[in-house]
A = this chain, B = another copy of it.
Amino acid sequence: MGVAERKERHREDLKNEILQAAKSLFTEKGYEATSIRAIAEKIEYSPATIYLYYKDKNEIVHALHRDGFRLLVSHFEVLNTVSHPFERLKAMGRAYIQFAMQNPDVYKLLFIMEEPLKHVANCFEEWDEGDRAFDILRKTIIECQAEGYFKNMDNTLLAFTIWSTMHGLCTLKSSGHLGHVGVARANQWNLDELTAMAYETFVAMLERMKT
Structural contact, B131 and A198, CB atoms closer than 8 A: no
Structural contact, A164 and B168, CB atoms closer than 8 A: yes
Query: DSSP majority for the A interface?
Result: helix
Determine which of B111, B156, B194, B197 lies in contact with A175 in the assembled complex, contact meaning CB atoms within 8 Å.
Answer: B111
Structural contact, A158 and B117, CB atoms closer than 8 A: no
A33 within 8 A of B: no
Find chain B residues with CB under 8 A from A134 CB. Answer: 181, 185
Interface residues of A in 123-172 (CB under 8 A from B): 128, 130-131, 134, 138, 153-154, 156-158, 160-161, 163-169, 171-172
Chain copies in complex: 2
User: What's the nearest-Cβ distance from chain B to residue A156, in Å?
Assistant: 5
Which residue of chain B has the shortest Cβ distance to A30 in the bound complex?
Answer: B114
A160, A175, A194, A197 — most chain B CB neighbours (10 Å): A160
A177 within 8 A of B: yes
Q: Do A112 and B112 form a contact, CB below 8 Å, given A120-B180, A153-B204, A208-B209? A: yes
A52 within 8 A of B: no
Residues of chain A touching chain B, judged by Cβ–Cβ distance below 8 Å, are 32, 111-114, 117-118, 120-121, 128, 130-131, 134, 138, 153-154, 156-158, 160-161, 163-169, 171-172, 175-178, 180-182, 184-186, 194, 197-198, 201-202, 204-206, 208-209
